[in-house]
Structure 1
Amino acid sequence: MPVLAITHAHLFDGDQFFKDKTVLIENGKVSAIGDASIIPPDAEIYDAGGNILAPGFIDVQVNGGGGVLLNHSPTVDGLRAIMAGHRQFGTTAMLPTLITDTREKMLAAIAAVKDAIAQHVPGIIGIHLEGPYLNTERKGVHDASIIRPMEDDAIEVLTSLPNGRIVVTMAPEKAKAGTIAKLTENNVLVCAGHTAGTYDDVQKAIGEGLRGFTHLFNAMSPLNHREPGVAGAAIADDNTWCGLIADGFHVHPAAMQIAVRAKKTGKIMLVTDAMPTVGAKNKSFVLGGEEIIATNGRCALADGTLAGSDLDMMSAVKNTVEMIGTDLAEALRMASLYPAEFLKLGNRKGRIKPGFDADLVLFDSAEFSVKNTWISGQ
């Protein structure tokens, strides 16, 4: 394949901005960055037109998109549709997310992701199992009848993806001592979520290797001045990551601002928690027998209960800048570099530099509209 030269880019390399740069891509990797003099004579040229070229967005919590919910279509074709729904908004890597479901559905989803990765389906890099080992006190829209204690062979299931990342969201207070340690030893990234645990419960979990917190503030015990709860423990700890749904509905902008200011820099990552409505014309779907409708960007049941989001990653970046005053560079890192580091992929994703995967997004910073994306240079 010929070398691809992306020219006239306002480059954000993951650390800082550079004007009028050329980025060369070879064999799916960034090979060089410089001025026009580095372009080989036989290169294919793509003119970025002065738009911002940034590391592609990495979304670690994606329930659905493109009209497809993973729980309803745990297949390679379903994964392709979800990825296509989000790619148009700058996502170049994702963890399709299975909401609490049966053992059979869990196995099917893991098998589909395994096959998709083996088939090099662009953008699919693992799976996020959000449940079923949750606390019904903080279940959200998860089906309480399927939420259950961890079975004796659960660890075997949760460690059964050999070619991608597995994130598991669980309520740490419901897990037997040593469970999180066993999962961590087997390269599972464990997050606390849908939990009514205490600050002390979280400290024990962190001691066993807890990696992060699923959708900060939502479906977890809140911060209180005498009992910091899961939310307080999440913000106070310097070694764990927090997912943040920056749609203005799940978390008030002031609370987002407090979290970003208080949590150690580099440890808050943007997630969408997206439902099938993202990238789809149909703005309603059914989950657990109940209709969920997206209205003005808000996904909810008829009674108003939030049910995932209608958020895409480009909008999450925009909201982070406009709602809470984060500078664009940091918002972009929250959408790419920090998720890459959470996933232990910071050595090849989240930056534009030689040797890194050529996963890129080109967008207009005035309108936050995506112009193009590349996944492994394609």
Structure 2
Amino acid sequence: MASLLITAERVIMTPADGPTRVVSPGYVRVEDGVITEAGEGVPSGADVHLADGLLAPGLVDLQVNGFFGHDMVDAGETGWREVVTRLPETGVTSFLPTFITAPVATQAEALRRTRDLLPKLPPGTRVLGVHLEGPFLSEKRKGAHNAAHLTDPTPEAVGTLLETGLVKLVTLAPERNGALDAIRRLTGAGVLVSVGHSDATAAQTAAAADAGARKVTHIFNAQSGVHHRDPGVAVQALIDDRLHPGLILDLHHVGPETARLVFRAAAGRVVLVTDAASAAGMPPGTYELGGEPITMPEQGPPLRADGTIAGSGLRLDEAVGNAIGLGVDPAAAVDAATRVPADLIGRPDLGRIAPGAAADLVWLGPDHRARTTWINGQELFGGGS
């Protein structure tokens, strides 16, 4: 039986009878990849003691288009291997690879390829399924998506994309024809639906939540926003307790004051995401998103040729650090990148330090960068000292 005892000066705990909180000092005991005990104090016999920083649950990213030079939709086995074995460097222990807009038949083929290669991957960051960001989006709010491939969510299209069973999250615009029926069908199949790339009114967004939508994709980006007489998606995301606003906290997609607003208005509902593109983790240069070129500049996010933001170069541990730097309580910042997305995707065994949870853990240094990452109690990244 493989066992591990980690003690730390500060631990993010998720007790069954209360909110996530920081315990100082604390410990985590692991047996066979599962957390069996977690609490306050420093018991003797620790295998690992973390003298600074923070021991947190492994980070959960629901929106990763690519990383380390690879676009997930066509990365191939070599690219997938690099991404899943290197994402632990960023503290991410579970993720949803994200496929952006393409013809439905092309997306279906990508899903089949992914289904076939997943069993071949080595131990690494967990693949929780696939996030389809499109093609059921608004032409008015397409962002970096190819307008030529945007379409309505017909029953036939939805059925085709559900065939592999890999789809766990779909971003769509609820104002498109047939969208509310599609939301009901998707949620009935266990798929999380997120409102995004949408010009919907607040009322249309509320109707999507009535139909089962529970998330909003990258709040304030590529969606109708806040207007005192014409409220849109962003307003409903902030005031509707059923909806969880995704937030790209690279301080470029959303300004710091607006990010503070999101955390205050949607306390306990925010989901930190990277929306990372293939340029993430790479030097400035030209890369690819959804089969089209993007440029990674010296500063800021990757861009299309017309200047449109195209994903990000953000790490999720960096997003947590940015939230804390804005004055967000550390427990709330970590929660937004762990427990909240894990619960939203239907994985209550992930994203928390509590007995019975998977032993997915990350040691965040004082700069909130990942130093060591464990998945199922196994150290898969050890960049700290």
TM norm structure 2: 0.89
Q: Does 1:93 align with 2:94?
A: yes
Q: What's the secondary structure of 1:335's corresponding residue?
A: coil
The 3 A distance-change label for structure 1 pair 85 and 154 is same
The 3 A distance-change label for structure 1 pair 96 and 86 is same
- The one of 72, 78, 82 aligned to 1:70: 72
Q: What's the secondary structure of 2:175's corresponding residue?
A: helix
Which sits farther off after the overlay, 133-142 or 78-87?
78-87
**Which residue identity is paired with 1:373?**
T
Give distance in 1, aligned partners of 2:173 and 2:138.
6
**Which residue identity is paired with 2:98?**
T
Give distance in 2, aligned partners of 1:278 and 1:247.
12
- The one of 276, 279, 288 aligned to 2:278: 276
Give distance in 1, aligned partners of 2:235 and 2:42.
50
Q: What's the secondary structure of 1:6's corresponding residue?
A: strand
Q: Identity rate of aligned residues, in percent?
A: 35
Q: CA deviation at 1:16?
A: 1.7
Q: Does 1:332 align with 2:334?
A: yes
Structure 2 residues without counterparts, runs of 5 or longer = 15-19, 379-385
The 3 A distance-change label for structure 1 pair 19 and 132 is same
Q: How large is the RMSD of aligned CA atoms in angstroms?
A: 2.2
Cross-structure match for 2:344: 342
Cross-structure match for 1:18: 23
Q: Does 1:30 align with 2:35?
A: yes
Q: What's the secondary structure of 2:275's corresponding residue?
A: coil
Cross-structure match for 2:381: none
Q: Deviations over 1:207-239 (max 9, x none)?
A: 111111100011111111111111111111011
Q: Does 1:3 align with 2:23?
A: no
Q: CA deviation at 1:113?
A: 4.2
**Which residue identity is paired with 1:274?**
A
- The one of 262, 278, 294 aligned to 1:291: 294
Cross-structure match for 1:376: 376
Cross-structure match for 1:194: 197
Give distance in 1, aligned partners of 2:268 and 2:259.
15
TM norm structure 1: 0.90
Cross-structure match for 2:228: 225
CA contact (8 A) 1:67 1:82 kept: no
Give distance in 1, aligned partners of 2:283 and 2:297.
11
Give distance in 1, aligned partners of 2:161 and 2:148.
20
> Aligned runs of 1:1-378 on 2, under 5 Å?
1-14=1-14, 15-34=20-39, 37=43, 39=45, 45-73=47-75, 75-115=76-116, 118=119, 121-122=123-124, 123-162=126-165, 166-176=168-178, 177-263=180-266, 265-281=267-283, 283-287=285-289, 288-322=291-325, 324-345=326-347, 347-365=348-366, 367-378=367-378
CA contact (8 A) 1:63 1:70 kept: yes
Q: What's the secondary structure of 1:181's corresponding residue?
A: helix
The 3 A distance-change label for structure 1 pair 21 and 305 is same
Q: What's the secondary structure of 1:153's corresponding residue?
A: helix
Q: Deviations over 1:330-358 (max 9, x none)?
A: 1111111111121122x311211111011
Q: What's the secondary structure of 2:90's corresponding residue?
A: coil
Structure 1 residues without counterparts, runs of 5 or longer = none
The 3 A distance-change label for structure 1 pair 195 and 282 is same
Q: Deviations over 1:178-201 (max 9, x none)?
A: 221111111111111111111221
Give distance in 2, aligned partners of 1:363 and 1:338.
19
**Which residue identity is paired with 2:359?**
A
CA contact (8 A) 1:65 1:85 kept: no
CA contact (8 A) 1:64 1:275 kept: yes
Q: What's the secondary structure of 2:127's corresponding residue?
A: coil
Q: Deviations over 1:77-126 (max 9, x none)?
A: 43332234432111111000001113343224323443465457532111
The 3 A distance-change label for structure 1 pair 335 and 277 is same
Q: What's the secondary structure of 2:342's corresponding residue?
A: helix
Give distance in 2, aligned partners of 1:5 and 1:251.
39
Q: Deviations over 1:18-44 (max 9, x none)?
A: 2343322122111123555475xxx9x
> Post-superposition, which runs of at least 4 consecutive aligned residues in structure 1 deviate over 6 A?
none
Give distance in 2, aligned partners of 1:210 and 1:18.
34
The 3 A distance-change label for structure 1 pair 32 and 289 is closer
Q: What's the secondary structure of 2:363's corresponding residue?
A: strand
CA contact (8 A) 1:116 1:124 kept: no
Give distance in 1, aligned partners of 2:38 and 2:12.
12
Which sits farther off after the overlay, 179-188 or 111-120?
111-120
The 3 A distance-change label for structure 1 pair 117 and 72 is closer
